Each structure stands twice: as C-alpha cells, then as structure tokens.
Chains A and B, each alone.
Chain A
Amino acid sequence: MMNMEEIKKSQEKWESENRLDGLPSAKSDMGEELKVVYTPVDVAHVDYLKDIGYPGAYPFTRGVYPGMYRKRPWQMRLYSGFGTAEDTNKRWKYLLERGNNGVAVAFDLPTQMGINSDHPHAEDEVGRLGVAIDTLRDMEILYADLPVEQLVSSFNINAPAVIILAMYIAIGEKQGVPPEKLAGTISNDILCEYVSRGMWVFPPAPALRLVGDLAEYCAKHLPKFYPFNIRGIIMREAGANMIQEAAFAFSNALAYIQEITSRGLHVDDFASRISFFFATGLKIFEEAARYRAARKLWARIMRESLGAEDPKSMLFRFTGTTGGSYYRPREPQNNLVRGAYGLLGNILGGAQGMLHPAWDEPFAIPTEESALLALRTQQVLAYETGITGVADPLGGSYFVEALTKAYEHQIEAAIEQIEGMGGAVRAIEEGFMQREIAGEAYRVMKEERSGERVVVGMNKFVSEDKGVVKPETPFHEADPHTRGRQIERLDRVRTERDDNTVRDCLSELKDKAKGKENLMPQLVKTVKTYASVEEIMETLKQVFGTFQEPINI
C-alpha cells in the first residue's frame, strides 16, 4: 500500500530540488492554474468504489454501459441537410451507403422558426443551413426509399419540434410502421434557444407545455424514441465554458423533468429516454474529465434528488461533437486535425454518438468529399487505433481523476446557484445564463486577441498569405433555385389539399391549445391534411403569444 505521508514528503523534496516555481504557467481552458504533475496526493480523497466504480454501474463515472465500445463503436452520424428534400435525400443515401449510422437532420432557419419558404423573412434563408420543410409532402420526399423502420433519425429542432415529430409519425404510418417502432431523437430543448441562438417563437411557459406534450406522448406511444436531446452545445458554442455547458444543460433538463412529473408521470416513466448533446473543445484531458464528472453527477441527481430507481434513468447518455466554434476560417484544412483531437476527447469521455463536423463547416455546408473525410476520421479512430478495446482508459490517471472530482463539484455548485434563483426558467428570464455565457465569450476573445490563447495559423505561426482560402478551393454552393422550387411545391400542395379539412383541423388545434390536453394527437391529424408548419405555428401563436427578447450587452 502507498503511504501518503511518504509520498507527500518525497514530492516536496522533488519539487524543491527541481525549482518548479520557475516553470511557465499552464492554465486549463477555464483559466485555472494546472500543476506540473499529479500524484496520488491529488486523488487521496477519491474513493474507488464510491467515486469511480465500474462502467455500466452506479455512479457510472467510467461509462454508461459495461462493455462500452466492445460491442460496437459509437454511432457515427453527420449532421446533414440542405436545399430541398430531394437534395438532402440524395446526400443521405450517399452517406448511408458509406457506413453512416442513421441520419441527423439539419433544418433550414425558416423551418426552425416555423415560417414557410414563401414568407418574406425567409427569402435569403430557404434551404441554406438545412433542409426546407413546409408540409408533410417535403418529409415524404425526404424519406423516399428510406424505410424508417430500419433508420435512426435525429432531429435538431426546438420551437416546432412537436410538428416535426407529428410529421415523422405520419411518415411511419404511410410506410406501415407503427409509432412504437420509430427510433430516433428529437432535441425538444427550447430553453437553450432563449439562452443562445434565438430560435424561439413562443414565451417560455407555453413552450414548456409543448416540450411536455411531446415527451409525454413519446413515453406513452413511442418507446424507442428519445424525446429529448438536451443541447449543451448551443450554449457552449455561444461561449459557455465546459462547466457552464454541463450545469446549464442539466438545469434545463431539470425544468423539463419537473414539467413532465407535474403531469403525474414518475421519473422512471421517461427519464431513460433523455439524452444530451454536448460540444467538446480541444483540451482533451479536461473534456474527458468533464464528461466523467457529468456522468457521475447526473446519476447522483437522478437517484438522490429525483428518486429514480431504474438505473437506466440515471444514465447521462450523450452525443458529442467537436465544437464548430473551434474550427477556424484561416488554413481551414487544419480543422481536420482539430476535429480529430476533439473527437478523441469525446471518445475518451465515453460518448454514445458523434456528429463530427467537416473541415469546411466554418464556411458552408460540407461538400460530399469533406463529409466523407469527417466520417473516415471517426472510422479510423474506431477501427485502427484500438480505442474501442478498453473502457474508460483514462480512469485512474491522477490528473484526470483529480479533475473529475473537481469538475463534479463545480458543475453541482453552478446548478445549485440556478436552483437558488428559482430554476432554469427564472434564471433565463432574468438573463443570468445569457450574461454568464457572454462574459466567457468575451474572456476567450480577449485571450485570443492578446495571443495568450494560441490558435495555430490565426494568432501564432501565421503564414505570409494569412492562410486565406485559395479561390480554387471547392465549397458547397447554395443552389439559387432552391427557394423557387420549394415555393412551387408548396403552391402545388396548397392546390391539391382539401382546404376545408385543413381549416377544421387548425381550428380544433386552436381550441385544444386553449385547454390542457396533450396536443400531439391533434398535431398528427393536422399535419396529415398538409397544413404547413407556418399555419400550425400561427394558429398556436394566436393562443400562446410570442416571446420578447431581453436585450443586454
């Protein structure tokens, strides 16, 4: 056995003999001073069985499954969608044929904001950042020749999430697949939109009701569907540090759990279907420790504070990605390397799925070639490096275990601060999370400006041409005819559908929105009439109103 006193003494001797105080300082991503080396002294307070344990066993520090990546590596998906449904359908088929598992749907901004492609505010945005979905017809084309029974779909959408899920259920019906067989994930995380990125429509209270309607409906009818993919990433990319990302995402999750349990469901009825989506920076060991800490803390909150008994309710399951904000526009091929290191941090942190960004994403939708490279980056890590052989390979590292313990407490303290304000919704309404995040974004910007935070090719080792992208570099070009084609289809749908049925369904929806019943069944009925996303959102706005953003800089 190690004698702690002996180690301490020898460490002191080693430190004094080697004049460590003369070394340059090294800081963590959050600006905390790091030691030169970590020893058993730094983990003397860590109890192996209580704090670390085994993968697949409480407190899940080492991973959510006993075998981790032995059975199969993480889910490799690319976030993909652009143009019209035909364009995206074609790209999906290309990626699925090359070993992509499932599809992760990127929607264009008009769809995310609940307006149609022919809305004047949509003019410059149709099909630009994702695929344009106006009516069920677009979803039918999106999934043409793609059997949803065998496909895992992940939807990144919040404000109109209920409408998109209703459309997916309708697609299943058309393909003869009952709701209970539909597998996938929908982000359904509206609170992160008020904090960052701004894809909100309704005020928080009715928005939370829709979140709850979707989750409750899934708990009862779509057992294979994850009704939450809670987006730490949206806040991280807006500037949150890794602790804030975890703390704010958990606080938002707690608000959703409260909304659903207030309807009479037990936490074990749905908590096993909550998943998360976090972004990862390039500080590999800190990120891995942060994920270990998050896993342990989430299990503890679910079991001890919320009374979960099913171990599956305690699992912090997450999709990871290298944060797009770590990708840089100068010498952009360097992003391929950045992405690979971020990926490594995610996998050492125990991610269940990865949406790996392509190197050209600071500029545009990836090309076929860059999207394939992103997939290959993951496949090389999974199948050539041996990383899938042993669970939690960093477990037991003095450094990583010391950070894991410290981060667990830091995340917990930040959650308690928000709970002390009355929970996530209040903290957001008061602009607390927004201010904290803006403060971190500003700190990082100043550090990059001063050169204290190095970005290769940007503020250090800058090449003579400043790394400006060569004009012949191929990028994905937005098709200028997308909007026209999309509006043409929308007009055709309008002439082909039965307007009376549409009107009746929308009016029933409006009545039901005024009451308390779950809106999902009515939404499924409504999308099947080919009512547009905008018509449905406008109907709901009449009852729910819209959100006014508090502005402070």
Chain B
Amino acid sequence: MIAKVGLDGHDRGAKAIARLLKDSGMEVIYTGLHQTPEQIVNTAIQEDVDVIGLSILSGAHMGISRKILGILQEKGVENMTYIVGGIIIDRDIPKLKEMGVAEVFPMGSDIDDIVAFLKENQV
C-alpha cells in the first residue's frame, strides 16, 4: 500500500512508484491524499497488505511515522512492514530506523533497490 498522510499533497512520486510496482507484478493500493494515520492503518488491516509505504515530502516524516508505528503496535499488527520514502534528510534515516521503520528510501534512491527490497520481503 502506498500511502499519503497528512496535508502534503505532492503525489508525483507516490503515483509513479505505485505504477512501477504494479508493472513489476505486485498488487498495489494507493490511498489518495490527506489520510490520517488511523485511516491508513485501518485500510492496511482491511486490505491485509504486506507493506505500508509512506510517501512524504513535507518534512513531517518523524511525527507521522511515530504515530503510524504506534497505532500498528496498539492494534497488535505484526508481519506488516512499514517503509518511508520522499524528502528525508540523511541524518533522519537512523532515527527513523530506530523508531521501527524497516527501510527508508530518500528522494534519489535507486528504484531497483525499492523493488529488490520488496521482493526480498516476499511481497
């Protein structure tokens, strides 16, 4: 599931990645804009997704990731991988990983790395 959370409406990357993953043979859901963390976790549970990929370009990735991971934990969701992509400054990456984000793909990541990561995680 490719998710846009919060007020950030930049969806070029989210849509392009969603399409690329579809073309790579994966089943992809795109949430559309302006979702809340609660909404996306609920959709993820309903649709029984393997991976939630947050796309965010506004700089709010720390707060929003903390909330999403918190809700996942609250609801006792296991076996769901949470990854983040977008405008992520390098020094935030270790902090995100410490928080429980499985992988971070900042703008400029090699797209093949994203596909490879998802395949390794048996999507």
- What is the interface of chain A, defined by CB distance below 8 A to chain B? 109-110, 112-113, 115, 121-125, 128-129, 193, 196-199, 237-239, 325, 328-330, 362-364, 438, 441-442, 445-446, 449, 458, 468-469, 471, 475, 478, 549, 551, 553
Contact = CB atoms under 8 A, between A and B. Distances in A.
**B7, B28, B59, B107: residue with the most chain A Cβ atoms closer than 10 Å:** B7
A441 B55 CA distance: 16
Give 5 nearest A-B pairs by CB, closest first.
A198-B9, A124-B60, A124-B63, A109-B7, A551-B32
A121 B10 CA distance: 17
Given A122-B7, A549-B32, 13 more contacts: A121-B7, A123-B63, A124-B63, A124-B64, A125-B6, A125-B8, A238-B10, A442-B15, A442-B19, A446-B20, A553-B19, A553-B22, A553-B30
B89 interface: yes
A122 B58 CA distance: 12
Nearest to B22: A553
Nearest to A122: B7
A239 B7 CA distance: 20
A197 B9 contact: yes
A363 B107 CA distance: 9
Given A109-B8, A239-B16, A121 B36 contact: yes
27 contacts: A112-B7, A113-B7, A121-B6, A121-B36, A124-B6, A124-B64, A125-B6, A128-B58, A129-B59, A193-B9, A196-B9, A197-B9, A198-B34, A199-B9, A237-B12, A238-B10, A238-B11, A325-B12, A362-B107, A364-B59, A438-B15, A438-B19, A442-B20, A445-B16, A449-B112, A551-B30, A553-B28
B76 interface: no
A451 to B, nearest CB: 11
Contacts of A478: 59
A165 B104 CA distance: 40
B80 interface: no
A55 B112 CA distance: 49
Contacts of A471: 90-91
B108 A238 contact: no
Contacts of B72: none
Tell me the interface secondary structure of chain A in the complex. loop
A112 B8 CA distance: 10
Interface string B1-27: 000001111111001101110100000
Interface in B66-85: none
Nearest to B91: A471
Nearest to A471: B91
Interface residues of B, number: 35
B52 interface: no
Contacts of B31: 551
B60 to A, nearest CB: 3
B10 to A, nearest CB: 6
B108 A110 contact: no
Contacts of B123: none
B12 A239 contact: yes
Contacts of A115: 7
Contacts of A445: 16, 20, 111
B100 interface: no
B99 interface: no
B30 to A, nearest CB: 5
B87 interface: yes
Contacts of A553: 15, 18-19, 22, 28, 30
Contact of A128 (B20, B32, B60, B111): B60
B106 A129 contact: no
A551 B11 CA distance: 11
A197 B8 CA distance: 8
A438 B108 CA distance: 18
